[in-house]
Structure 1
């Protein structure tokens, strides 16, 4: 094999997706984008989850299911589930469809900072309640269109009702 053929073979191999990406669900394109992989999901305190999430707000990280962002917390996909994966310190960028593997459903009234609100296709990190009646959650979320930065905002009760409250299994505090 000559040098030109060897270089072409190496270049082609680098362009192929990793084997784990080939088995991703076809209905969730965000799971096809691999970024960093770490030894294990970390135990993360509620405050640490909020601090980690704040870094993407500060850096104005823009939304894209085809990009990754790297900072001192690792390299994660720049979409909603990549954002929550980074905040929680997961071993890789998850998709909304497989966050159930690292979390459990909780009653809405038990939401605490660092928990999340999940639905098929979108997830947001819970920050606090805006109102005493606990109907308007304040969330940090990464949503499109491509190029939009992470935001912190309150949701209406109607929006919140469409999401399932979840708690990371390794959240501390």
Structure 2
């Protein structure tokens, strides 16, 4: 596969994989008959990941700037960092084992997109490992919040890229073809 489509290199999916997005633009999603239920739930999960990433980044910024003391930052990092890692791993497992194979069959034009998203998940496993190492270093007092801030900022950037691309591919498929066989 083209290395330019790696998570850390791309700035979106190729137009050929956005064909259904053109039929179902984001602004129309909430009003679509197939939006309620699974699609809305899945997007809420993505919103949670975005909020957790932002919370961890802003907490690290506040600790670096002296607006949040280290014990408070550590408590929040322990809670929200663990939640992000655990929930993201589970979310990706469901997508890789169930959603992607089912959805990839619904529109063969998009199979390459599901391969890209699967590669993203493997790349994110390594990112999550680095994130966890940096978080544990702060939690155990072996490192300062500044290094974690750099790690979480980079992680958040790639997480946001992945979530947006995943939504641009998957939501239009679900809107067009429905959610049967996924719940």
Relative to the length of structure 2, the TM-score reads 0.28
Which is richer in helix? 2
Relative to the length of structure 1, the TM-score reads 0.29
Which is richer in strand? 1
